[in-house]
Amino acid sequence: MRNDLRERREREGLSQADLAAAVDVTRQTINSIERERYDPSLELAFALADHFGCRIEDVFDPEE
């Protein structure tokens, strides 16, 4: 699933480890999502969107 997680994270000046700690997952999980090798659970997708103050659809594009 396409996403703009990396761009959002970098705009905020966060490392993968910083974002992982903020949403209570491992850095490897964030890396896998950014590389589009792993689709997050619905709970994690909500946590990520909430962290960035947006909707899930703003971060993830299921149509791509």
* Alpha-carbon gap, residue 24 to 63, rounded angstroms: 27
Is 64 domain-assigned?
A: no
The secondary structure of residue 49, as a DSSP letter, is: H
What one-letter code names the amino acid at 4?
D
For the chain, the first-to-last Cα distance in angstroms comes to: 6
Looking at residue 32, the DSSP 8-state letter turns out to be: H
pTM, two decimals, is: 0.93
Q: Does 24 reside within a domain?
A: yes
Q: Is residue 22 part of a domain?
A: yes
- 18-27 tens-digit pLDDT: 999 999 999 9
Confidence at 64, pLDDT banded by 50, 70, 90 = low
Whether residue 60 lies inside any domain: the answer is no
Is 59 inside a domain boundary?
no
CATH code for position 16: 1.10.260.40
62 falls within a domain: no
* Domain limits for position 39: 2-54
What is the domain count for the chain? 1
